[in-house]
Amino acid sequence: MLLNILIIQLRYYKYLLIDMNVLGTESCPQHVAIVGSGPSGFYSAEALIRSGLKLKINLLERLPSPFGLVRSGVAPDHPKLKQSIQVFEKIASSPQFNFIGNVNVGKHISIEELKQHHHIVIFTCGAETDRKLGIPGEDLPGSHTATEFIGWYNSHPDYRERVFDLSNETAVIIGQGNVTADVARILSKSVDELKQTDIAEHALDCLAQSKLRNIYVIGRRGPAQAKFTSKELKEFGQLKLCDPFIDPEELQLNNASELELAEKTNVGNKKVYEILQGYAAQTTHDKQRCCHFTFLKGPTSIIGSNKVEKVILEKNKLCGEAFSQWAEGTGSNIELETGLLFRSIGYRGIPIPGVPFDEKKGVFPSIDGRIIDSEKQTIPQLYAAGWIKRGPSGIIGTNRADAIATVSSIVEDLEHIQRDEEKKGAEGIYKALEERKVRSISFSDWKKIDQCEIERGQAKQKPREKFTSIKEMLAILD
């Protein structure tokens, strides 16, 4: 990591030797806009600050609250994963950094205006929606995305009004990754296990009335290809109200899967498989709920007159060589009655007017972080980092190396950027927002909201009680 930062700095000094113009000095800095305040946004700001460039950074965020999925995507019972916020706050303390919250890029301010007032624009807006199953009945009431549910229990303003019917005895989750595990675990846990986390109060009240007895986690491929981490999966054996269950027959592997687990570099999947074996060996299942892990099944349709009533699953078989296997339907179907279904098969980005968008991949197309058009030509000033650049992969820390790579491309391009053009940066943005009567939020404003959330939580012995609407957040400042 330090080596990458050193390379960026060396490239910057080379750029200085090419042209010691006034632009890029303390008195006349270059202006960079970063769109999206999740991990990629903050790590991009960090890399720019450490590069040695004389610049001012404006980090724009649609919500009044920063930190993206670290705030609204990490499960409330996994508080350690939110410790990266301390790093982000340190980045925000830099005099080169400026937070502009409550501003929707593409609505309140256009891409052309960002380009007009900044030398560089970096998109770090992540993957904000879920991939679709593409099957009949997917949009019936009772069929939800994982994003909706996670945002709902994490107090995200976009999902406060969502309704999840937990009066059913059976819930079905399509997917076999850590997001799936989060959804399944929250549905499986008792209120006592959640009440001292920062889970939304409305979610806690709803979960307290849950009638769920069976949660089905359904994977298209086999147990050897499951994308859970062993740490996430292990937690299901430690729940107060819920037993994990897997049919031992579902752990039978084909030759290609055996080769995969025998590979020395595939330690993670081997550990997951061993945990599943332990769950399959359990002989007692006497708790109030049961979380069923089942594999080699894919949904073909969701049935119901006015809401979800059942899901049709086709049994699959694996085809192909080790590490390149895919699931293929066998034509044999089973029905599973349920009134509540979640899809958790991956995220995708959403387009912003004025930026090229790859509909198939759900990303802003780019090469080495440089956004490209339909002819694969780079577009001056525009860059991407994080999930909107590479797709939804990796963990929070993965975005740091990705951001450094994009910033490295920016520094490399500086010698080709017109350096005699002075831009207004934040001044230009604030003027446009004032004309449109859009109220922006500074980082010090956010800290007031943050402190109020912490105080609200103290009375309930929680880390914080988040606000669930933008109106509530702004009211604190008034």
Continuous segment of H or E residues that includes residue 348? strand 347-348
Token code pair at residue 37: 């305040």
Mean pLDDT, rounded, for 296-306:
96
- 235: three-class secondary structure by DSSP: helix
Residue 327 predicted with pLDDT over 90: yes
pLDDT band with cut points at 50, 70 and 90 for residue 284: confident
The dihedral formed by the CA atoms of 372, 378, 383 and 389, expressed in degrees to the nearest 10: 30
Alpha-carbon separation of residue 174 from 177, 180, 354, 435, 461 (angstroms): 10, 8, 34, 46, 34
Q: Is 302 exposed, middle or buried (0-12, 13-18, 19+ CB in 10 A)?
A: buried
Residue 13 predicted with pLDDT over 80: no
Report the C-alpha gap between 178 and 394 in whole angstroms: 11
pLDDT in tens, 171-181: 999 999 999 99
Among 35, 4, 32, which Cα is nearest to 384's? Answer: 35
Instruction: Judge whether 432 and 64 are in contact, CB under 8 Å.
Output: no
Residue with tokens 């059913």: 168
Report the C-alpha gap between 259 and 109 in whole angstroms: 53
Count the residues in the chain. Answer: 478
| Residue 135 neighbours by CB under 8 Å, 6+ apart | 299, 300, 301, 302
131-344: what fold? FAD/NAD(P)-binding domain (3.50.50)
Q: Where are the beta strands (DSSP E) in 210-264?
A: 214-218, 242-245
Instruction: Judge whether 312 and 138 are in contact, CB under 8 Å.
Output: no
Predicted pLDDT of residue 177: 93
Residue with tokens 């410790």: 83
Token code pair at residue 164: 């999840």
Among 136, 111, 195, 205, which Cα is nearest to 164's? Answer: 205
pLDDT in tens, 182-221: 999 999 999 999 999 999 999 999 999 999 999 999 999 9
Alpha helices (H) along 160-290: 178-188, 191-194, 201-208, 230-234, 255-262, 267-280
pLDDT in tens, 405-414: 999 999 988 7
Predicted pLDDT of residue 19: 43
Would you say the C-alpha torsion 272, 275, 279, 280 has a positive or negative sign? positive
What does the domain layout of the chain look like in residue ranges? 2-128+349-441, 131-344
Residue 364, Cβ neighbours under 10 Å: how many? 23
Find residue 384's DSSP bridge partners.
123
- 24: three-class secondary structure by DSSP: coil
Among 14, 100, 151, 38, which Cα is nearest to 425's? Answer: 100
Per-residue DSSP letter, 119: S
Predicted pLDDT of residue 17: 43
pLDDT in tens, 84-143: 999 999 999 999 999 999 999 999 999 999 999 999 999 999 888 889 999 999 999 999
Predicted pLDDT of residue 446: 98
Q: Considering the domain 2-128+349-441 in this protein, what is its CATH number?
A: 3.40.50.720
Report the C-alpha gap between 1 and 12 in whole angstroms: 17
Find residue 367's DSSP bridge partners.
370
**Phi-psi region for residue 212, left (φ > 0), alpha (ψ -120 to 50) or beta?**
beta
Residue 15 predicted with pLDDT over 60: no
Q: Give the max Cα distance, the chain.
A: 75
